[in-house]
Amino acid sequence: MEYIRDSVHDEIALNRIECECVDAHEMQRLRGIKQLGMSFLVYPSANHSRFEHSLGTMHIAKVMAKSLKLEKRDVQKLSLAGLLHDLGHGPFSHVSEIVIKQKTGKSHEKITRKRITESRIGKILEKYDFDAAEIACLATGRGEFGKIISGDIDADRMDYLMRDAYHTGVVYGLFDIKRLIRTMRLFRGDIVLSRKGIDAAERLLLARHFMHLSVYRHHTVRIIGEMMVRAINYGFEEDLFSLDEFISMDDVDLLSRLRSSSGNAKEFISRIESRNLFKEASRITEHSTNKQLDKKSPEKIAKIEEKIAAEAGLDALNVILDVQGPVKSPEYNTKVVIERSLFPLDEVSFFAKNLEKAENSFRYTGVYTLPSYKNEVKKIVENMFPAN
C-alpha cells in the first residue's frame, strides 16, 4: 500500500493496481491539465490539476462504497472508476470540451470510455482480472453503483467542490462530507439519503450554488474561457493541430501551438496571457430572450455577433456572445427515504425547492468586446434586444 498526501483529504491510500494505473501515461497526462481551466488568471492559486482531482474522486468513491457496505470487489471497481473518470478531458478541461463537442458531438465521457478500454489502462485492468468495459461504464455513471461516480450526489462533485473551494480561497464550497456519506443508504437497489442527511444535502446545494456564482460563472472567468475557445478554433483554421492531436494535448502543448501562430490564434492567446481582455459590454438578462438564444445553433449566434460587430464598425472576431445555458442540478433528483417511502429532495426540503427555482434566474447572456468599443456595443445590444 502506498500513501499520497493530499491538500483536501490529508492522506489517500493506493493499492498495487491503483498505483499501476496512476503511473500509466493516460493518468500522468492529467497532471498537465488544470482543473479550472484558465481560472488561475482570476484566482491565482487555482493551479490544481485533473490528476489530483482524480485521486480525490477515487478516495471518496472508496469511502462511499465502504460506508454502503458493498462487496470488496465492488469497492475496488468503484475506486478504479473514480480514479479513471476524467481520462477524456482535453487541455484546460471544460474549455476544450466545448470545442470537442462542437466538432465531434462527443463528450469527454465518451472519450474517457475509449481511453479506459483501448489504452494501457485496459491492459492493467485485465491483468488484475477486471473488465475494462465495466470499469469504463462505472466511470461515466452507468452500470450498478455507477451513480457513486456520476449521479445525484456523487464522489466527483463532492471532490471538485471541496478542492476548487480550497484552491480558489472561496469558502462557500465547504460542506459536511462525512455526515453526507454517513447518511447514505442502499434502498431498493438505489442510493438514497436518510432523513438525517437532508441538512447535509442542503449544505452541498448551497456550496455548489455559491461556487457557480463566485467561480464557475465569474464574469472574467467566462470572458477568458470564451476568448480561449475562439483562440482554439482559430488554431484549427490555421492547421496548428489536428483534432486527434488536440484531444491528446495537455495545457502546455496547446499553449505552445497557439503561441506559434502568426494569425488570429496568436492574437487571442497573447491577449489572454497579458490579461488584455475583452470587457463585458452588456448583459441580456430577460428570461425569454435567453431561452431563445440558448436554442440557437453556433452558426446563428455567429450571425448575431457579426451583425453587432458590423454596426459597431468592428471585425466580427471582436464581438463574443456568451449564451449561458441552464445550471445542471442533478442533486435535486436525490431521493430521501422516509418511513420506507421515497421522496425527491426538493419535496422534503423547503430550502432545496426554493433554491432550485432561483438557480436559473441568475442566467444571462454576456456580450464581450474590445474595451474601447464597450459603450458603442452596449447601445447596439440594447436596441437589438429592447426587452432586456
The answer on 386 and 294 residing in a single domain is: yes
- How confident is the model over 82-123, as pLDDT tens digits? 999 999 999 999 899 889 988 888 888 899 999 999 999 999
The pLDDT of residue 364 is 86
If asked whether residues 197 and 174 sit together in one domain, one would say yes
Query: What's the domain range around 343?
Result: 170-214+328-362
Q: Report the percentage of the chain scoring pLDDT > 70.
A: 98
Answer yes or no: are the C-beta atoms of 254 and 92 closer than 8 Å.
yes
Tell me the mean pLDDT in the region 186-214.
92
Q: Is residue 196 part of a domain?
A: yes
Q: Please, which residues have CB within 8 angstroms of residue 35's CB and are 6 or more apart in sequence? A: 46, 48, 49, 50, 52, 53, 93, 160, 163, 164, 167
Which alpha helices (H) appear in the chain, and where do they start and end? 16-23, 25-28, 50-67, 72-84, 94-104, 108-117, 120-127, 132-139, 155-168, 177-182, 198-211, 219-237, 243-248, 251-259, 264-273, 287-295, 298-312, 345-348, 350-359, 374-384
Q: What is the pLDDT of residue 388?
A: 53
Is 151 part of any domain?
Answer: no
Q: What is the pLDDT of residues 40-55, one digit of tens each?
A: 999 999 999 999 999 9
Helix axes 108-117, 72-84, angle to 10 degrees: 120
Q: What is the sign, positive or negative, of the torsion defined by CA atoms of 345, 348, 350, 353?
A: positive
19-28, 142-151, 193-202, 291-300: lowest mean pLDDT where? Answer: 291-300
Same domain, 354 and 377: no
The stretch 162-181 carries a mean pLDDT of 93
What is the number of domains present in the chain?
2
Is residue 386 a part of any domain in this protein?
Answer: yes
